[in-house]
C-alpha cells in the first residue's frame, strides 16, 4: 500500500494505473493474469521498470505512454529500497499485489486496506486515496512548476483539466496579485 501510494502521488498516476483493474475476460485487452472469468489490466508491471529504474507505462484513460525516472521519486525509492535493498527488482508480474492473496488488488480491497492504513496514520476521514493525484498536481503548481509541464506529467489532454485538479485557487490568485503589485511598485 505504501508503494502504491508513493507511485500515485509522486508520478501523478490514477489508482487504476497503479493497482490495475479486474475486468471480464470478454473485455478488450490481453493479460496473463487471470482469475476465473476475470483478467487484470492497466496496473504497473515489474517488466515496465528497467535496470536504470525507468518506468515506461501506457495509461488506462487515454492510453498515453509515460516514461518516468523513479530515482527522482524519493518516496518510491524509499519503498523499493525497503523491499529490495540491492534494487534488483522482479522481472515480471504485477508491482502491487494484495498481501492476503498474492494477486492484484480488487479496487474495493485496496480502498479498504488503504483506509485502514490511513486511519492508523491519522489521515482525516475526508481525505481519500483518489485525492493523491490532485494533491500531487497541487504540490507541483504550488512549487512553481509550469502549468503546461504539470499537464504533461499528469497526462491531461487539456490544461483546463490540470487547473481543475490544482487546488488552492484563492491562495494562488492572491499570490499572483501580490507578485503583480510588487512588479508594479518596482517600476
Question: For the residues 73-81, what does the mean pLDDT come to?
Answer: 96
Beta-carbon contacts of residue 166 (< 8 Å; ≥ 6 apart) = 134, 137, 138, 140, 141, 147, 150, 172
User: What was the pLDDT predicted at 127?
Assistant: 93
Average pLDDT over residues 24-39: 94
Confidence of residue 89 (pLDDT cuts 50, 70, 90): very high
Over residues 141-162, the pLDDT tens digits come to 888 888 888 887 887 888 777 7
Phi-psi domain of 176 (left: phi exceeds 0; alpha: psi -120 through 50; beta: other) = alpha
The C-alpha atoms of residue 28 and residue 173 are separated, in whole angstroms, by: 44
Q: What is the pTM of this model?
A: 0.82
Give yes or no for residue 163 having a pLDDT over 80.
no
Helices and strands, number each (H, E), in the chain: 8, 5
User: Residue 173 — very low, low, confident or very high, per pLDDT cuts 50/70/90?
Assistant: low
Amino acid at each position: 500500500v505504501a508503494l502504491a501510494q508513493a507511485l500515485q502521488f509522486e508520478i501523478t498516476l490514477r489508482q487504476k494505473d497503479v493497482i490495475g483493474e479486474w475486468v471480464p475476460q470478454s473485455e478488450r485487452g490481453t493479460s496473463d493474469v487471470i482469475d476465473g472469468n476475470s483478467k487484470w489490466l492497466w496496473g504497473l508491471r515489474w517488466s515496465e521498470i528497467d535496470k536504470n529504474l525507468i518506468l515506461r507505462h501506457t495509461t488506462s484513460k487515454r492510453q498515453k505512454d509515460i516514461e518516468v525516472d523513479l530515482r527522482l521519486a524519493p518516496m518510491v525509492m524509499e519503498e523499493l529500497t525497503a523491499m529490495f535493498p540491492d534494487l534488483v527488482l522482479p522481472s515480471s508480474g504485477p508491482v502491487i499485489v494484495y498481501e492476503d492473496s498474492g494477486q492484484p488488488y480488487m479496487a474495493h480491497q485496496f480502498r479498504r486496506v488503504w483506509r485502514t492504513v490511513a486511519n492508523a496514520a491519522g489521515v482525516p476521514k475526508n481525505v481519500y486515496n483518489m485525492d493523491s493525484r490532485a494533491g500531487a498536481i497541487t504540490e507541483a503548481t504550488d512549487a512553481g512548476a509550469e502549468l503546461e509541464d504539470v499537464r504533461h506529467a499528469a497526462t491531461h489532454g487539456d490544461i483546463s483539466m490540470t487547473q481543475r485538479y490544482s487546488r488552492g485557487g484563492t491562495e494562488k490568485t492572491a499570490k499572483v496579485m501580490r507578485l503583480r503589485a510588487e512588479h508594479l511598485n518596482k517600476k
